[in-house]
Structure 1
Amino acid sequence: MSAPAVPIAPAVPAAPPALTVPPAATSAGPAAGPALDLITGRARTGAYGPDPASLRIALAFTTAQAVRHAGRARGYRNEVLSLRLGAAVGSCAVEPGELPADTLTGCVGATVDELLDHPRAAVRVAALDAYLGHCRPHGPAEGARPVPLPAGSSLAKSRARAAAVVGLLPLAGVRRVLVVGVVNSLLEQLRSRGIEYIPCDLKGGATEWDEPVRTDALAHLDACDAVLASGMTLGNGSLDPLLAHARATGKPLVLFAQTGSAVLPRLLGDGVTAVSAEPYPFFWLDGGPTVLHLYGGRSGRGGAAR
């Protein structure tokens, strides 16, 4: 899952209180930040396709998940808001229980343009993701390389995805990775390749190997050679400082995205090195074959999707 997950009791020790949301946060949730605003502005000026005011969202839904993989000591819960536009589904992970009951009814029938001004960042992200997935679907024309995930258990598919995501990191010069949004299968892949990591997540807690999870990712940026971050950083306001650091230092920034999977490739070459884009339905929803769309990385074309 691309979102920082919420531990399930009792297998997971009680997590420490989450950090205060970024200063721009409101009662409607954290602001998404300049990166989302930049791409939204481009969409409104016709850079990607038709006027967002001419397109309406027909369907809104949420997906809630609880998982504890066989052989793993810890389990998680996740929730995702999704909006459908034509054949495309745009998504943004949220904290379980965060969305008011009337969120879905307030989205259906609204234009994409109206939802791009919604007070909730999750709605804005999902609306932009749906719009871009509709206008600029993943594929070779956008610089994406399809990578099939074979049918299997949720753990088998999680590990297959992790191998593809970690494979987007450069082979040379990366000894320690800052992981923002802890996914144990990703950490397992880094361990298998002898790469050190610093796990970070606003929820805190511990990894599958009882390593402490840091809650302040920015404090550890200088200690790492690369950043591997969840797409949920787009929705919770924490992506922009990571982008600024990558732009200033030239460090690789690789994103694994279920949240904003069609949005984040627009940042390739502008701080983002590579993206693993995984639109709905995600690997954890389907035991059959599914597909990742990889942008950039060791054999990809940086910036092709912009």
Structure 2
Amino acid sequence: MTLPAPHPQPARTVPHPARPAPAAPSRVHDDPAVRTLADLLHLVRAGAYGPDPARTRIALAFTTAQAVRHEGRARGYRNEVLSLRLGAAVGSCAVEPGALPPGALDECVGATVAELLDHPLTPVRIAALDAYLSHVRPHTPAHGARPHPLPAGDSLTRSRARARAVVDLLPDPAPGRPVLVVGVVNSLLERLRARGLAYLPCDLKGGTTEWGEPVHTGTAALLDRCGAVLASGMTLGNGTFQGLLDHAARTGKPLVMFAQTGSAVLPRFLGTGVTAVSAEPYPFFWLDGGPGVVHRYGDRA
């Protein structure tokens, strides 16, 4: 099937001087290079990042559910996130609302990280990996993170502020090549439009954007058309991250990740395909109206 051409975008409305493409970021600290999630899991199990995961136990498991429709927006959406606590760290993975089976939380509490890395449910494995890496590689300057403040305000104000923090990590793609956006968030699209950047919206849920643009449901036919990729950490949970990583590594296209899911996982791929990460561990920006922070990795952070 022939996919529609990207929706025409408005003229550039916010000055954004052209910048030379940054060099590929170096790995965070002295961590080993990882090119697949399987590589990372193997290294964690082997104790390459610190404490033996077979001797670290999850103390608390919980879910957070949200429904939102911002004032002035035509559509709303729902989120559900599984979170696991290890010491002071919380690891998270988004799930489809209602998808976690009964008893999933009970299976996590008191289990070792090693046990949960082999759990049959992908969200449990990702949340456990994120909790462990958040514990041993917290989002601090010593580990490559740069804090970026988010202001207090209503939900739309904070959503737009986060969108600026995320999108401004993205270098301009090659002229005439749109940004592939995997995981549609209207505030992110709004920021891309403000920068005068065309985009291809993609989300497994399909539908249309706030501006009536069709949302594609798969990336395979779109990767060769794009000049850069902006993707949600939810790709870790639905198994589509590796394809994006491989494409970016092969082509050198920028790959910027915005991560509530796997906020401590994705920085491990800097320099092997990932260009930058906006990491947002629990508690997420939508949980209250107070000031907050995201942690940005990469040359433009």
Q: Tell me which moved more, 109-118 or 163-172.
A: 163-172
Secondary structure, counterpart of 2:36 in structure 1: helix
CA deviation vs aligned residue, 1:145-171 (integer Å, no higher than 9, x gap): 100101111111110000011111114
User: 1:297 deviation in Å?
Assistant: 3.9
Identity %: 74
- Across the aligned residues of Structure 1 and Structure 2, the Cα RMSD in angstroms comes to 1.1
Secondary structure, counterpart of 1:217 in structure 2: coil
CA deviation vs aligned residue, 1:176-233 (integer Å, no higher than 9, x gap): 1000000000000000110000000011000000100001112111111000000000
AA partner of residue 89 (structure 2): A
Of 249, 252, 255, which residue of structure 2 is paired with 1:253? 255
Secondary structure, counterpart of 1:80 in structure 2: strand
Task: Name 2:72's counterpart in structure 1.
Answer: 71
Matched-pair contact (CA < 8 Å) for 2:173–2:227: no
Matched-pair contact (CA < 8 Å) for 2:81–2:94: yes
Alignment of 1:9-158 (within 5 A): 35-158=36-159
Cα gap change, 1:35 to 1:266, in 2 (>3 Å) = same
User: 1:94 deviation in Å?
Assistant: 0.3
Task: Name 2:287's counterpart in structure 1.
Answer: 285
TM-score, length basis structure 2: 0.87
Unaligned runs of 5+ in 1: 1-33, 301-306
Matched-pair contact (CA < 8 Å) for 1:36–1:125: no
Task: Name 2:212's counterpart in structure 1.
Answer: 210
Task: Name 2:186's counterpart in structure 1.
Answer: 184
Distance, in Å, in 1 between the alignment partners of 2:185 and 2:261 is 14
Distance, in Å, in 2 between the alignment partners of 1:199 and 1:95 is 19
Unaligned runs of 5+ in 2: 1-34
Matched-pair contact (CA < 8 Å) for 2:150–2:291: yes
Secondary structure, counterpart of 1:63 in structure 2: strand
Distance, in Å, in 1 between the alignment partners of 2:295 and 2:259 is 10
Cα gap change, 1:145 to 1:95, in 2 (>3 Å) = same
Secondary structure, counterpart of 1:294 in structure 2: strand
CA deviation vs aligned residue, 1:56-101 (integer Å, no higher than 9, x gap): 0010000000000000000000100000011100000000010011
Matched-pair contact (CA < 8 Å) for 1:218–1:242: no
Distance, in Å, in 2 between the alignment partners of 1:155 and 1:42 is 40
Secondary structure, counterpart of 1:219 in structure 2: coil
TM-score, length basis structure 1: 0.85
Matched-pair contact (CA < 8 Å) for 1:169–1:297: no
Distance, in Å, in 2 between the alignment partners of 1:172 and 1:267 is 20
Matched-pair contact (CA < 8 Å) for 1:177–1:197: yes
Distance, in Å, in 2 between the alignment partners of 1:69 and 1:120 is 32
Distance, in Å, in 2 between the alignment partners of 1:123 and 1:172 is 35
User: 1:172 deviation in Å?
Assistant: 6.0
Q: Tell me which moved more, 186-195 or 163-172.
A: 163-172
AA partner of residue 243 (structure 2): P
Matched-pair contact (CA < 8 Å) for 2:37–2:242: no
Task: Name 2:230's counterpart in structure 1.
Answer: 228
Secondary structure, counterpart of 1:79 in structure 2: strand
Task: Name 1:21's counterpart in structure 2.
Answer: none
